[in-house]
Amino acid sequence: MPRLLSLWAGVSLLLGACSSTAESETAFSPPTSSTTKTGTIKIGERSRAYVVTQIVEVGSNAPLVRAPAKIAFRDGAVSEVDTPTPGRITTVHVKVGDKVKAGDPLVTLTSPDAANSRASVTAAQAAYDAAVTEAARQDHMATSGVGVETDRVAAQARLRQAQVELDRARSGSALLGGGAGSTLVVRAPIDGTVIARRATVGAVAEPGGESMIELGNPNALWAIADVFERDLNGIKDGAEVDIELASRTEPLKGHVMSVGSALTGSTRTAPVYIALDTQSTDIRAGMFARAAIKGPAGEMIFLPSEAVLVKDGKTFLVYVKVGDDTFAARRVKIGRSVGGQIAILSGLKVGDVVVVKGALLLDGASEQML
């Protein structure tokens, strides 16, 4: 019997301990808040420790928009070199990666059309010289009183016509560049690097066909970032950008030049064109990068995401302190989320005191932002 009494006493102590623990856990939960006649929410004294407020200030740190990017040649920095007249390629003077100066030979062709064009210049020049001589003769005869006025006028007309034909022939021949007779030398129009070579010896090149040589200026590069639609509002021209490359330990510095006006249909992104503030010899067109675009510091209000509540899946609320332990719901318009912070586009002003932690104690019917 004493042994049974001892066992019963142990069970009683265990049940008592469990009851005490349950009571302490129940007492830990703060009481629900109450709604006043004016619609505001008043919290009890025991709930104060679970509600943290913060004075609204304009953000001091520039938020970042991160987006994939690619290094590319800027507009006008790429030149596709074609042939001005049909011909057969006899020599290719460059290979991919070669650096060239404007005027350097790229491709030599043999072209019957080039021979005809140059011959037409010679013929036009001869006709012009003859017209000049005849016009001078008719002027001299008219001055001497032995000429016929109609012949002099006709000679002047033939001279003007010969001048037009010579100018036309010279313009056509000038497009051929260097060379003589049927030989046509195609030269570099800009300083740059050969980024593509499609010309091969023996092939026939045609105007308007595939370009023979493609040149790019390595000193005229920019980065193009693909930014999602939701993040575009925070990007301004001139914004600072850090461009991270796998081949570099330090990011390149740049700034936003412009934001594309059209979105792609599938990814809903727009191109953001970023000028490189520093050029480097180890940067090449086609490299993949990651752009960190800084937003305008000091121009936007940011709150922790747990400060913003969602009502009915479409209304965004924050709670503003309006008195001692009294709070009122305020509807806000939100922007993008950056690093756990939500941009507040409207509904709050600097100096407002808002609940940044414990907002669900005031409104249990809402959901919290993630």
Statement to judge: residues 209 and 275 lie in one domain: no
CATH number of the domain enclosing 227: 2.40.30.170
Could you tell me if residue 186 is inside a domain?
A: yes
Q: Please give the single-letter amino acid code of residue 168.
A: R
State which of 121-125, 177-181, 255-259 shows the largest mean pLDDT: 255-259
List Cβ<8 Å contacts ≥24 apart for 236-240. Answer: 236/295, 236/296, 239/293, 239/294, 239/295, 239/296, 240/62, 240/293, 240/294
Of 261, 294, 327, the position where a domain reaches its end is: 294
Tokens of 361: 């104690």
Are 299 and 84 a contacting pair, CB within 8 Å? no
Could you tell me if residue 92 is inside a domain?
A: yes
pLDDT in tens, 202-247: 988 888 888 899 998 888 889 999 988 877 876 888 888 999 998 8
Could you tell me if residue 236 is inside a domain?
A: yes
Could you tell me if residue 28 is inside a domain?
A: no
Statement to judge: residues 207 and 228 lie in one domain: no
pLDDT in tens, 97-130: 898 998 899 999 888 877 777 778 788 889 889 9
| Res. 158: pLDDT tops 80 | yes
DSSP letter, residue 183: E
Beta carbons within 10 angstroms of residue 172's beta carbon: 18
Statement to judge: residues 314 and 355 lie in one domain: yes
Statement to judge: residues 364 and 237 lie in one domain: no
Statement to judge: residues 322 and 231 lie in one domain: no
Could you tell me if residue 20 is inside a domain?
A: no
Statement to judge: residues 222 and 344 lie in one domain: no
Mean pLDDT of 33-52: 77
Could you tell me if residue 11 is inside a domain?
A: no
Mean pLDDT of 326-341: 81
Statement to judge: residues 192 and 91 lie in one domain: yes
3-state DSSP call for residue 76? coil
Could you tell me if residue 160 is inside a domain?
A: yes
Statement to judge: residues 124 and 103 lie in one domain: no
Domain count, the chain: 4
Of 233, 264, 294, the position where a domain reaches its end is: 294
Could you tell me if residue 26 is inside a domain?
A: no
Of 216, 231, 247, the position where a domain reaches its end is: 216
Q: How does the average pLDDT of the chain come out, rounded?
A: 80
Domain of 281 in residue numbering reads as: 64-76+218-294
Lowest mean pLDDT among 42-46, 116-120, 148-152, 251-255: 116-120
CATH number of the domain enclosing 42: 2.40.420.20
